[in-house]
Structure 1
Amino acid sequence: MLRHVGRRLATALPSLIGVIITAFLLTRVLPGDPAAYFAGPAATEQAIAEIRTQLGLDRPVHEQFIAYVDDLAHGDLGTSLTTGQPVTRDIIARLPASAELTLTGLLAAVLIAVPLGIAAAVRQGSWIDHLSRILATSGVSLPVFFTGLLLVYVFYYQTGIAPAPLGRLDIFFSPPPQVTGFYLIDSLIAGDIETFRSAAAQIFLPATTLAIFSLAPIARMTRASMLSVLASDFVRTARANGLSTWRVIVVYAFRNAMLPVITTLGMVFSFLLGANVLVEKVFAWPGIGSYAVEALIASDFAPVQGFVLAMAALYVLLNLLIDLAYGVIDPRVQMEG
């Protein structure tokens, strides 16, 4: 197992190196001058030049890159000019908010899309199959930011069912004692039901937005994979032996259809990490997506580079977990690997 994990991490190392180089170069070619931004509109050319020298932006690009890599080797992602804090500290503080939102949205999508895909495959051509197609088409057709704004308009502005989309908690509540960084879990650990309700109410709309965005690929892959497995010989044999429909579908068919679904979940999670940037801005969610956007507007290089590197590391970790899940679901995959 450890050898397998080490081999996977070794293959991901070139990708991380490529991400570091690409993120560094892209931040240098983007329009905008951080020295001019932070000097202010009334600053003189001399003042801007002094700030540029202090930031090291007057040095050749290759020297800046060498200094950046050296800082990375020492665990230093730089300092954010907008917050005045180390980027590592900012990311650690904001990452739980993004992770909680993404995982909640993905969990909601799975709880809806997987049963829907199974039912659509079992009852092919029925009304539930057509409903699955309609939901899938709607989910991929609506831009994620438009879905978020539409939900805010309906559930907050028109009906008042949802609270104001302003962060992770209502202004009258304080964050629970931090254990995991997830307000839903930490409030339950603390036994604070009122804070849990507030956190659940705040996360409902943004998580629903992400769930709608990710419903389509999960439901369609579940349906397609189940259709393929249901047509297999071992499923027909199980039915011929008199096994119940529930046992045939859940124990035999779905277990063998899970590998493509797990792969799709990994892809959807990576898509949600990108969609998080827009959703966090719509709902004023204090995650690393909004943090990166604010830094990008201010031409603040270090947070943008730290955000890209953090997303790449999460993607590598996700792929590793998917590989390990393959071995748990189907031991033959691990043996062949």
Structure 2
Amino acid sequence: MLRLIGKRLLAAVPSVIGVLIVTFLLTRALPGDPAAFFAGPAATQQAIDEVRKSLGLDKTLPEQFVVYLKDLSTGNLGNSIATGQPVLTEIRTRLPASLELTLYGLLVSVLIAVPLGILAATRPGSLVDHACRVITTAGVSLPAFFTGLLLVYLLYYRLGWAPAPLGRLDIFFSAPTTVTGLYTIDALIEGNLETFRAACAQLLLPVIALAIFTMAPLARMTRAAMLEVLNSDFIRTARASGLPKGKIIYGYAFRNAMLPVITTLGMVFSFLLGANVLVEKVFSWPGIGTFAIEALIASDYAPIQGFVLTMALLYVALNLAIDVLYIVIDPRVGFDA
């Protein structure tokens, strides 16, 4: 197991290096001048040049990249021009908000999509099967940010059932004591049920928007994998042996169908991290997605580079977790690796 983890981590190093190089070059190709933005609209050209020199933007690209790598080796991701705070501090503060939204969206998606895919596979041609196809088609067709705007319009503006989409907590509540950074978990640890309910209420609409977006690939893959396994010889043998239907479906068929479902789950998690960027903006969610968009508008290099690097490291950790899950589900995978 440790050998496999080491191999996967070594294989991820070139990818991370490639991400660093591409991100560095693309940020420098962005339109706009960070020095002019930082100096202000009334600044003279001399003031802008002085700001550019203080930010190190007067150096050549190779020199800037070397400085960036030196800072990165010491854990310094630079400072945000817009906020004046270290990028690492901003990411550390905002990442729990994005993870809370992503994890709950993924949890709701799994709890609905996997049982729906299993039911559709065990009842082909039924109403459940047709409903699964309609839901997956709608989920693929609707972008997450559009679904979010639609939910805000219907459930908040028209019906008044949901709270205002203005961040993680209503203005009448204060944040719980930080333990994990996830408001729902921290509120439970603190024993503050009012704050817990308020945090859940704010999560409702963005989580539904993300869940609808990710239900489609999960339900489709679960259905396809289950259909393939249910038509295999060992399932027919199990049925002929008189084994209970529940044991055949969940004990044999679903366990053998889990590997492609886990693979899709990893892809879906990656999609969620990307979809978060726009969903956070729609719901004024103070996560790293909102931070990245604001930095992009301001041509703020350091936060964009820090955001992309964080996403790359999250993807590496996610792929590593999936490899470990493969071995837990089917130990033969470890030998093949």
TM-score interval for Structure 1 and Structure 2 normalised by the shorter chain: over 0.9
What is the Cα deviation at residue 334 of structure 1?
A: 1.1
**Partner residue of 1:179?**
179
**Partner residue of 1:207?**
207
**1:293 corresponds to 2:289:** no
**Partner residue of 1:125?**
125
**Partner residue of 1:23?**
23
Residue by residue, what CA displacement relative to the aligned partner does 1:107-133 show, whole Å, maximum 9, x if unpaired? 100000000000000000111100000
What is the Cα deviation at residue 335 of structure 1?
A: 2.0
Residue by residue, what CA displacement relative to the aligned partner does 1:267-313 show, whole Å, maximum 9, x if unpaired? 01101111000000000000000001001111110000000000000
- 1:335 alignment partner, SS class: helix
Q: Distance in 2 between matches of 1:161 and 1:193?
A: 20
**Partner residue of 1:67?**
67
**Partner residue of 1:91?**
91
Q: Distance in 1 between matches of 2:262 and 2:180?
A: 25
Which runs of 5 or more structure 1 residues have no equivalent in the other structure?
A: none
**Partner residue of 1:103?**
103
**How is 1:311-322 mapped onto 2 (pairs within 5 angstroms)?**
311-322=311-322
Residue by residue, what CA displacement relative to the aligned partner does 1:145-177 show, whole Å, maximum 9, x if unpaired? 111000000110011111000000111111111
**Partner residue of 1:325?**
325
**Partner residue of 1:8?**
8
1:182 aligned partner, one-letter code: L
Residue by residue, what CA displacement relative to the aligned partner does 1:186-213 show, whole Å, maximum 9, x if unpaired? 1111111111100000001001100000
Q: Distance in 2 between matches of 1:324 and 1:61?
A: 40
Identity among equivalent positions (%) equals: 69
Structure 1: which 4+ aligned runs deviate by more than 2 Å? none
**How is 1:229-240 mapped onto 2 (pairs within 5 angstroms)?**
229-240=229-240
Q: Distance in 1 between matches of 2:237 and 2:173?
A: 58
Q: Distance in 1 between matches of 2:233 and 2:291?
A: 52
Q: Distance in 2 between matches of 1:119 and 1:26?
A: 46
**Partner residue of 1:190?**
190
What is the Cα deviation at residue 80 of structure 1?
A: 0.7
Q: Distance in 2 between matches of 1:324 and 1:280?
A: 30
Which runs of 5 or more structure 2 residues have no equivalent in the other structure?
A: none
- Relative to the length of structure 2, the TM-score reads 0.99
Q: Distance in 1 between matches of 2:315 and 2:143?
A: 23
**Partner residue of 1:134?**
134
**Partner residue of 2:334?**
334
What is the Cα deviation at residue 41 of structure 1?
A: 1.4
**Partner residue of 1:309?**
309
Q: Distance in 1 between matches of 2:40 and 2:81?
A: 13
Q: Choose 325-334 or 40-49, whichever is displaced more.
A: 40-49
Q: How many matched pairs? A: 337
1:105 aligned partner, one-letter code: G
2:137 aligned partner, one-letter code: T
